[in-house]
Amino acid sequence: MSRSEYYSWLSGDIKLRYDEKMKLTDGVDPYALRIDELSEDVSFSPAVKIVDLMNYLVLTHCFYTGQQMKAYKSLQAFKYYEAGYVQQTMAKMMNTNCYVVMGKVMHSQRRNDKPLQ
């Protein structure tokens, strides 16, 4: 089973938590996926609405503290997505309950810089 460079940087409890999360993807490290394993057809993935993001980012409780995340500022990311900052969206269905979605993200203030992946 291939692991990503990101995985090698993790340590202790954080690595154990990441291992638990990878069980959702049948043990596959999403950061180790290659472009040829992803599909540009993302129609199989469920639609995500702003209310879904709100529920997750604001109302969900943090794993470490047990308190609501209240990450209102993170909702700005959805506005960037709608404005076209996310390009080349690709996905892979890991199993019937889990999808990995990747894309290239343009810088919000340095538009001439290479997109982030």
Per-residue model confidence (pLDDT) at position 36: 92
Q: What is the mean pLDDT of each run of 10 residues along the chain (117 residues)?
A: 88 93 92 92 82 77 70 76 86 89 81 68
Per-residue model confidence (pLDDT) at position 64: 67
Per-residue model confidence (pLDDT) at position 38: 93
CA 87/CA 112 separation, integer angstroms: 15
Per-residue model confidence (pLDDT) at position 11: 92
Strand partners, 93: 99
